[in-house]
Structure 1
């Protein structure tokens, strides 16, 4: 994950605007925007200011994180049964739940990546491939998943999904949703 993505991720995890980070760091909003878009590379002195403002150490801001720390893949063959029961024993997906903290839905990813920017949003996301094969593209890696595989990640990491199998993929997506 690059510095611009890590900076934006850390800022958004704190629910800070660029103005808020500018105020805390003593840097301008326009400069911070350029850093987040990869148009400007901060000096070590500026990186220290940013790390102090974000209350992280400089290494967290500048160095590559441990691979897979924010993205967890679980293959179908790696799943562990949590109980016994026949097919269809549990079918409800949050039916009738009020004040949901998770938003479950089924997605049929397109075959081509959309030309628009990557998607990103607050919360965490779980994808479970029910049918077909998909490719999930992150700025720093691409993950292929087959039926029965799942992927869990911080949804602030920009991402795109597409079907890569001949059959249309069907994916259960669950997004965390904090109540205000």
Structure 2
């Protein structure tokens, strides 16, 4: 259970102290349980499963849940929108993963900036150009990125992206996302 408890606690973004408060157990005891130095009683395990909002079996399981590791094959990407061509403009990846704090996508930006205003949203954003080249417009100026280049920024900064050059750009976009 030691590895499983730590994984479940970290998925909630809780410190040992936060879990200790929720279970009325000591931080040092929980640390020992996580490191495999102490085995909890059934009563303690029930407290832990209730605090973490998981089944008791999941707390003791050595198996990794299929939603904790998500593999998306290129042929299995989920199209979220279609461009004016047959090729999708945004594809979701890791859609089977639960409790994500990152939202990954493969994006095929249009060759012209969309007529609409700049986009902005909570969190942070990472762009990695896999193929082609892109231009990212910010209110303060534009940035050009080639294949292999990346850009990381606060997503509250208004931005928009377009593909430039003869090759349709393919961009990995990862947006941070916190469940509140």
TM-score, structure 2 as length reference: 0.46
TM-score, structure 1 as length reference: 0.46
Higher relative contact order (CA 8 A, sep 6+): 1
Please state which structure has a larger fraction of its residues in strand. 2
Larger Rg: 2
